[in-house]
């Protein structure tokens, strides 16, 4: 239980003005972007220094209460949702870009920097930070590292983990460590840095992050291809890659998603087609020209009804912005959207799409699918109403089957959103029980009292 | 093991046993709209109040969750709740940003209505808001009376004395702001100048109704005149019904639906007497509300249909002129011009392309886009008086962008924005003139 004594201790660590305990604050820190989960925290703190974070964690160990780190709460697996008897550590105000180093192509940032803010700053000087999750205008770099988030440019440029060079972390026991650095090669000791990437706030709280930057691609070309069947779009993806072209973006949208997106963005997408691919190639102008041509041919060979090339940067931007709204736009048709994040080998995209279709029919639930097709990462999204418990139960059954199919195809239950609360009961499908035990051993070694984001990813028993 | 996070099965413990809703009556926030919010957070970056506090409860997503908690009976209408609802500008930027199509504006307006009927307003806010909105603005003769007094006062030199008066600032800071931020009262009221039907010199091509507005009528008579001149120049016969009343927008946005409905019915009767091609608006707030008459009166047996018809005719002046096409000006108009989106135009009515295209199409004009053009200026009805400090923080951000744009004219199609941004420019010694599109066009055509 979090007693009033604990609350006053917290106040003396962070200061009264950085401690929120009002019921209105508690209600509004009870959720993230994940459907169907929520719980009130006991308090919210906004520590100003790493020492304060360390003090909060030491107090948590002494008094046995839980601490949940939070960025801006856009997570889709419940990573920052409160647990029993917990204090939220709100990191969103740690929003300084500390240094951009053009000689070493690195940036030191605080974890609360908004992802698109960093894009803007580095692009101003001709540099590039590729990870661009759909939520980039509001999610934090800290959250991105904790979830190892992907984005629209993942196919060519990889995900967040490919850009983290160093971390400053407050460990669950309050110790502060640094790992990694500006040296591009570094094999001194265990690679602790990678342990923290994707740790979903369970192994430490980041206070500083060193990111790798690359030169900004000179130019890019954005295309959209329409298809009469989902499988044609799926096959196009594999066929583009087998041509040895790596576009930076290959995004898939099915009919339901296209309709919702068009309803919101009004950019003139046809609403009578079965699916579309949003494609982008970037790099040196002459290469871009040639690759764009090949991509268009590939689409046509796979029965694309039409392929359009965005005429201006603004048009390209509109298409990508529309794609980023896909998940939320789906909520236009039904109030509750439960989205999943399966990933299969690229060659199995078409098969997976067919399976999703069949499963949605079997359980009589409406599923809209979109995703980072180039990465094999699909977001089948069940459109339902949380007030209809019977339908929700059917949706959960459908998901279980989708997970099993994805794993059978050599894939995984989550490609970028994390396990968190929402998917922990399915984790063993991918990792097996022994691996989960190994994870528990690591967690126990770093967090013997289980104070930091307990019960996320897996339970300790 | 110390802690277990709950799984699906034991979810919603805190929201379990839904008590009875803490809202009551007919005008309550819609359950469907509340459930429609999937708490993705995509609306957070556009919210001016969230930008100030960074606190979830001051964000659209947070406010929706709070309203939901009150609706589910897990939260009372606490002081903190009421404060957040009043902190919200009702600028509806979150509505534009929301891919899920959550009608946030309707939620906050219903909540404000609930706050009023349940007596949850603070006394200062109450006196200022309700006296002003319920009595003065909605009764034309009273507004004129107050305006006359304020007008005499503004022109008599007494104003300067009072502005400097320490006593007034100390005793009634809000009232002293009311004074500074009050629109300048015009010497002559618009509807005293013009007859009910004004005809152009040529055979009219269009017949349009014109809402002279309450505040516009007494404080922005010049802009009304500009609007009529521009319409006449575009071959419109302009009908300005004498017995029209205030559109009800200030009242409705503050949740006073009863008054708003009464006013709406009166205007429907008055305007539908004529066969009109359009009803042209030069105030974004009024336009936004009149386009919603259909919604507000949808279950009124007598008025539902008529309200729909009226709403379908309502057009902002920029929308109307864009549709009929601007006449070619005789001379080039060589000025640097920028444009500020009034919230109730861009977010509530989704009109943003038309005014820009019109301005751009004028030969000679150098158009410069204002950074964050659709970010609220902080005027927001009576917000700049009732939540003066917050409003000024929001205004500062706008002024910074106005400085960068460095235009000679900044066009804004709403009286509230005009007064507010002008106030900010004056305080910051910025030379940019803040004007209405109609004023710009009248100058372009030298009417
Ligand atoms: C509309 C929408 C689109 C999305 N699109 C994508 C997408 O394309 N790709 C993708 O990968 N994800 C996507 N997401 C998911 C989500 O945005 C990402 O997981 C994001 O990284 C979460 O960042 P956040 O700041 O919101 O973190 P939160 O949700 O607040 O937290 C996420 C996790 O990070 C931990 N955490 C936060 N800050 C710290 C810190 N400083 N130190 C340690 N741990 C910390 C939390 O404890 C939690 O476990 C999307 C979400 C939405 C709502
Ligand atoms: S209002 Fe819309 S954008 Fe904002 S959180 Fe809700 S669904 Fe998302
Ligand atoms: S209406 Fe404006 S101030 Fe209110 S929540 Fe929406 S964006 Fe924020």
Please give, rounded to a whole number of angstroms, the shortest distance from the CA of A454 to a CA of chain B: 6
What is the rounded (10 degree) CA torsion for B427, B433, B436, B437? Answer: -150
SS3 category, B194: coil
SS3 category, B210: strand
Q: What is the pLDDT of residue A227?
A: 97
CB-nearest to A66 from B3, B12, B62 is B3
Residues B238 and B317 in one domain: yes
Q: Please compute the mean of the pLDDT values over residues B170-191 and round it to a whole number.
A: 57
| Closest C-alpha among A90, A34, A341 to residue B39 | A34
Closest-approach residue (CA) in chain A for B47: A138
Ligand at minimal distance from the CA of B344 is 3
Please report which residue ranges of B221-373 form alpha helices under DSSP H: 221-233, 249-253, 257-272, 284-290, 293-296, 304-313, 317-324, 343-346, 353-361
For the cut 70, the answer to whether the pLDDT of residue A91 exceeds it is yes
Kindly determine whether residue B81 and residue A74, on different chains, have CB atoms separated by under 8 Å. Answer: no
Q: Which of B267, B302, B322 is where one domain is finished?
A: B322
Backbone angles phi, psi at A245, to 5 degrees: -110, 135
Domain ranges of chain A: 4-90, 97-215, 217-328
Q: Please compute the mean of the pLDDT values over residues B59-82 and round it to a whole number.
A: 96
Residues B140 and B112 in one domain: no
Residues B21 and B74 in one domain: yes
Contact yes or no for A360/A220 (Cβ under 8 A): no
Q: Which of B32, B35, B39 to mutate to test the pocket of ligand 2 (most atoms within 8 A of CB)?
A: B39
Question: What would the two tokens of residue B369 be?
Answer: 């886009």
A188-219 burial, b for 16+ CB within 10 Å, e for fewer? eeeeebebbbbbbbbbbbbbbbbbbbeebbee
Range in A37-51, A334-348, B24-38 the model is least confident about = B24-38
Gap between the terminal Cα atoms of chain A:
21
Q: What is the pLDDT of residue B380?
A: 83
| Closest C-alpha among A375, A378, A374 to residue A399 | A378
CA B31 to chain centre: 25
* CATH value at residue B353: 3.40.50
Contact yes or no for A92/A20 (Cβ under 8 A): no
| Closest C-alpha among B318, B245, B243, B320 to residue B276 | B320
Q: CB contact, 8 Å: A301 with chain B?
A: no
Closest-approach residue (CA) in chain A for B45: A138
CA atoms of B221 and A102, how far apart (whole Å): 57
Q: What is the pLDDT of residue B183?
A: 58
Residue nearest to atom 6 of ligand 2 (CA): B37
Determine the residue among A1, A18, A24, A452 to mutate to test chain B binding: the one whose Cβ has the most chain B Cβ atoms within 10 Å. Answer: A24
Kindly determine whether residue A20 and residue B14, on different chains, have CB atoms separated by under 8 Å. Answer: no
Q: Which of B106, B121, B136 is where one domain is finished?
A: B121
CATH fold group of domain A97-215: 3.30.465
Q: Please compute the mean of the pLDDT values over residues B95-117 and round it to a whole number.
A: 92
Kindly determine whether residue B100 and residue A329, on different chains, have CB atoms separated by under 8 Å. Answer: yes
Residues B279 and B239 in one domain: yes
A245-277 burial, b for 16+ CB within 10 Å, e for fewer? bebbbbbbbbbbbbbbbbebbeeebeeebbbbb
Residues B240 and B299 in one domain: yes
Please give, rounded to a whole number of angstroms, the shortest distance from the CA of A426 to a CA of chain B: 12
Q: What is the pLDDT of residue B152?
A: 45
Q: Which of B302, B322, B342 is where one domain is finished?
A: B322
On chain B, the residues whose CB falls within 8 A of the CB of A332 are: 99-101
Highest mean pLDDT among A11-20, B134-143, B379-388: A11-20
- State chain B's mean pLDDT as an integer: 84
Q: Which residue has better confidence, B260 or B98?
A: B98
Model confidence over A393-447: pLDDT tens digits?
999 999 999 999 999 999 999 999 999 998 999 999 999 999 999 999 999 999 9
CA distances from A64 to B6, B109, B179 (A): 18, 44, 56
Q: Residue B147 is part of which domain span?
A: 124-181
Kindly determine whether residue A33 and residue B6, on different chains, have CB atoms separated by under 8 Å. Answer: no
For the cut 60, the answer to whether the pLDDT of residue A87 exceeds it is yes
The domain total for chain B is: 4
Model confidence over A246-297: pLDDT tens digits?
999 999 999 999 999 999 999 999 999 999 999 999 999 999 999 999 999 9
Q: β-strands A97-101, A106-109: how paired?
A: antiparallel
Q: What is the pLDDT of residue B259?
A: 86
Kindly determine whether residue B8 and residue A36, on different chains, have CB atoms separated by under 8 Å. Answer: yes
Residues B107 and B176 in one domain: no
Residues B66 and B171 in one domain: no
* pLDDT over 70 percentage in chain A: 100
On chain B, the residues whose CB falls within 8 A of the CB of A137 are: 42, 45
Binned at pLDDT 50, 70 and 90, residue B6 comes out as very low
CA atoms of B171 and B168, how far apart (whole Å): 5
- State chain A's mean pLDDT as an integer: 96
Longest dimension (CA), chain A: 70
For the cut 90, the answer to whether the pLDDT of residue B369 exceeds it is yes
Closest-approach residue (CA) in chain A for B102: A332
Binned at pLDDT 50, 70 and 90, residue A135 comes out as very high
Residues B316 and B210 in one domain: yes
CA atoms of B230 and B282, how far apart (whole Å): 12
Q: What is the pLDDT of residue B9?
A: 36
Range in A245-249, A322-326, B4-8, B76-80 the model is least confident about = B4-8
Highest mean pLDDT among B125-134, B141-150, B181-190, B229-238: B229-238
For the cut 60, the answer to whether the pLDDT of residue B173 exceeds it is no
| Closest C-alpha among A151, A127, A128 to residue A139 | A151
Q: Is the pTM of this model over 0.95?
A: no
Q: What is the pLDDT of residue B120?
A: 84
Segment (H or E) for B190:
helix B190-193
CA atoms of B383 and B88, how far apart (whole Å): 9
Residues B312 and B340 in one domain: no
Q: What is the pLDDT of residue B126?
A: 60
Range in A106-115, B139-148, B405-414 the model is least confident about = B139-148
CA atoms of B290 and B292, how far apart (whole Å): 5
Chain A, 401 to 460: residues with Cβ < 8 Å from chain B are 421, 424-425, 449-451, 454-456, 459-460
Measured from the CB, is residue B60 less than 6 Å from ligand 2?
A: yes
On chain A, the residues whose CB falls within 8 A of the CB of B42 are: 135, 137-138, 325, 328
Q: What is the pLDDT of residue B213?
A: 75
Measured from the CB, is residue B40 less than 6 Å from ligand 2?
A: yes
| Closest C-alpha among A258, A261, A252 to residue A302 | A252
Kindly determine whether residue A39 and residue B62, on different chains, have CB atoms separated by under 8 Å. Answer: no
Q: Please compute the mean of the pLDDT values over residues B54-82 and round it to a whole number.
A: 96
Q: Please compute the mean of the pLDDT values over residues B146-165 and round it to a whole number.
A: 47
Q: How many CB atoms lie within 10 A of CB B201?
A: 8
Contact yes or no for A450/B34 (Cβ under 8 A): no
Number of inter-chain CB pairs under 8 A, A vs B: 156
CA distances from B310 to A165, A248, B291 (A): 62, 50, 8
Kindly determine whether residue A27 and residue B66, on different chains, have CB atoms separated by under 8 Å. Answer: yes
Binned at pLDDT 50, 70 and 90, residue B170 comes out as very low
Q: What is the pLDDT of residue B393?
A: 96
Question: What would the two tokens of residue B437 be?
Answer: 């599109």
Residues B211 and B142 in one domain: no
Long-range pairs for A60-64: beta carbons < 8 A, 24 or more residues apart: A60/A87, A60/A449, A60/A451, A60/A452, A61/A172, A61/A173, A61/A174, A61/A449, A61/A451, A63/A2, A63/A3, A63/A6, A63/A9, A64/A449, A64/A451, A64/B2
Q: What is the pLDDT of residue B185?
A: 59
Contact yes or no for B335/B408 (Cβ under 8 A): yes
CA B38 to ligand 2 centroid distance, Å: 6
Q: Please compute the mean of the pLDDT values over residues B371-397 and round it to a whole number.
A: 90
Kindly determine whether residue B6 and residue A39, on different chains, have CB atoms separated by under 8 Å. Answer: yes
Q: Which residue has better confidence, A115 or B24?
A: A115
Q: What is the pLDDT of residue B386?
A: 79
CA distances from B247 to A95, B250, B254 (A): 44, 8, 13
Closest-approach residue (CA) in chain B for A136: B42
Q: What is the pLDDT of residue A102?
A: 97
Please give, rounded to a whole number of angstroms, the shortest distance from the CA of A337 to a CA of chain B: 7
For the cut 90, the answer to whether the pLDDT of residue B113 exceeds it is no
CATH fold group of domain A4-90: 3.30.43
CB-nearest to B81 from A24, A31, A449 is A24
Binned at pLDDT 50, 70 and 90, residue B245 comes out as confident
Binned at pLDDT 50, 70 and 90, residue B74 comes out as very high
For the cut 90, the answer to whether the pLDDT of residue B243 exceeds it is no
What is the rounded (10 degree) CA torsion for B129, B130, B132, B137? Answer: 120
Model confidence over B270-294: pLDDT tens digits?
999 999 999 999 999 899 999 999 9
Strand order of the sheet with strand B197-198? B197-198, B236-239, B206-210, B278-281, B314-316
CA atoms of A56 and A19, how far apart (whole Å): 12
Q: How many CB atoms lie within 10 A of CB B149?
A: 11
Domain A217-328 is of which CATH architecture? 2-Layer Sandwich (3.30)
Residues B381 and B307 in one domain: no
């Amino acid at each position: 239980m979090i007693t009033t004594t604990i609350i006053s201790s917290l106040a003396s660590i962070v200061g009264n003005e950085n401690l929120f305990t009002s019921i209105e604050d508690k209600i509004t820190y009870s959720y993230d972007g994940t459907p169907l989960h929520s719980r009130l925290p006991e308090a919210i703190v906004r520590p100003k220094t790493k020492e304060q974070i360390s003090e909060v964690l030491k107090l948590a160990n002494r008094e046995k209460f839980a601490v949940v780190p939070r960025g801006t709460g856009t997570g889709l697996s419940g990573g920052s949702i409160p647990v029993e008897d917990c204090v939220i550590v709100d990191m969103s105000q740690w929003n300084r870009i500390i240094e951009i180093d053009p000689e070493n192509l690195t940036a030191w940032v605080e974890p609360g920097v908004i992802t698109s803010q960093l894009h803007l700053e580095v692009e101003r000087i001709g540099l590039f930070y590729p990870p661009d999750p759909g939520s980039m205008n509001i999610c934090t770099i800290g959250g991105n590292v904790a979830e190892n988030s992907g984005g629209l440019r993942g196919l060519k440029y990889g995900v967040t983990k490919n850009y983290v060079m160093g971390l400053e972390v407050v460990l669950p026991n309050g110790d502060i460590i640094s790992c990694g650095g500006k040296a591009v090669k570094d094999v001194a000791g265990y690679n602790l840095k990678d342990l923290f990437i994707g740790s979903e706030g369970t192994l430490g709280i980041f206070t500083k992050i060193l990111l790798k930057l690359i030169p900004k691609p000179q130019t890019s070309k954005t295309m959209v291809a329409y298809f009469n069947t989902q499988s044609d779009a799926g096959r196009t993806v594999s066929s583009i890659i087998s041509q040895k072209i790596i576009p930076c973006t290959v995004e898939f949208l099915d009919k339901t998603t296209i309709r919702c997106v068009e309803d919101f963005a009004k950019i003139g997408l046809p609403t009578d087609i079965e699916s579309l691919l949003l494609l982008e190639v970037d790099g040196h102008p002459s290469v871009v020209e040639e690759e764009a041509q090949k991509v268009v041919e590939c689409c046509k060979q796979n029965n694309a009804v039409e392929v359009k090339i965005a005429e201006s940067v603004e048009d390209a931007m509109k298409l990508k912005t529309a794609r980023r709204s896909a998940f939320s736009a789906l909520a236009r048709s039904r109030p509750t959207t439960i989205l999943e994040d399966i990933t299969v080998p690229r060659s199995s995209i078409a098969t997976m799409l067919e399976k999703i279709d069949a499963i949605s029919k079997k359980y009589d639930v409406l599923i809209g699918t979109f995703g980072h097709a180039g990465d094999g990462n699909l977001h089948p999204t069940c459109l339902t109403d949380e007030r209809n418990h019977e339908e929700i139960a059917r949706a959960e059954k459908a998901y279980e089957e989708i997970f099993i199919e994805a794993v059978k195809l050599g894939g995984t239950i989550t490609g970028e959103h994390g396990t968190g609360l929402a998917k922990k009961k399915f984790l063993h499908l991918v990792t097996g029980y022994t691996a989960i035990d190994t994870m528990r051993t690591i967690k126990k070694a770093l967090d013997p009292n289980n104070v930091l984001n307990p019960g996320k990813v897996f339970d300790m028993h | 093991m110390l802690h277990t996070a709950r799984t699906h099965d034991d979810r919603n413990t805190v929201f379990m046993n839904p008590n009875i809703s803490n809202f009551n009556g007919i005008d309550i926030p819609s359950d469907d709209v509340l459930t429609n919010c999937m708490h993705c957070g995509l609306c957070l970056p556009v919210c001016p109040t969230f930008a100030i506090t960074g606190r979830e409860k001051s964000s659209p997503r947070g406010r929706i969750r709070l309203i939901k908690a009150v609706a589910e009976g897990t939260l009372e209408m606490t002081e903190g709740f009421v404060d957040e609802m009043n902190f919200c500008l009702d600028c509806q930027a979150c509505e534009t940003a929301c891919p899920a199509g959550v009608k946030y504006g309707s939620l906050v307006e219903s909540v404000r209505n609930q706050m009023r009927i349940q007596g949850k307003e603070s006394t200062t806010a109450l006196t200022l808001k309700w006296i002003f909105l319920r009595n003065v603005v909605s009764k034309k003769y009273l507004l004129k009376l107050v305006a006359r007094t304020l007008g005499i006062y503004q022109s008599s030199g007494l104003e300067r004395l009072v502005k400097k008066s320490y006593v007034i600032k100390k005793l009634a800071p809000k009232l002293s702001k009311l004074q500074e931020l009050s629109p300048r009262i015009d010497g002559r009221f618009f509807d005293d100048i013009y007859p009910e039907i004004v005809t152009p010199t040529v055979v009219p091509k269009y017949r349009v109704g014109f809402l002279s507005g309450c505040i516009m009528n007494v404080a922005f008579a010049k802009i009304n005149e500009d609007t009529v001149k521009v319409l006449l120049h575009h071959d419109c016969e302009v009908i300005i019904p004498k017995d029209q009343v205030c559109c009800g927008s200030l009242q409705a946005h503050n949740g006073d639906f009863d008054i708003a409905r009464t006013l709406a019915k009166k205007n429907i009767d008055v305007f539908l007497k004529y066969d009109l091609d359009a009803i042209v608006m030069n105030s974004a707030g009024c336009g936004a509300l009149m386009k919603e008459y259909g919604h507000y009166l949808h279950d009124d047996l007598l008025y539902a249909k008529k309200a729909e018809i009226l709403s379908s005719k309502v057009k902002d002046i920029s929308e109307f002129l864009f549709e009929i096409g601007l006449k070619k000006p005789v001379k080039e108009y060589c000025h640097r011009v920028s444009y500020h989106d009034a919230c109730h135009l861009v977010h509530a009515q989704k009109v943003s392309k038309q005014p820009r295209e019109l301005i751009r199409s004028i030969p000679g004009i150098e158009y410069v886009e204002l950074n964050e053009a659709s970010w609220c200026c902080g005027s927001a009805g009576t917000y700049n008086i009732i939540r003066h400090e917050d409003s000024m923080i929001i205004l500062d951000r706008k002024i910074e962008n106005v400085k960068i744009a460095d235009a000679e004219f900044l066009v804004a199609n709403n009286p509230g924005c005009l007064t507010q941004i002008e106030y900010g420019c004056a305080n910051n010694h910025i030379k940019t003139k803040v004007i209405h599109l109609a004023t710009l066009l009248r100058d372009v055509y030298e009417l």
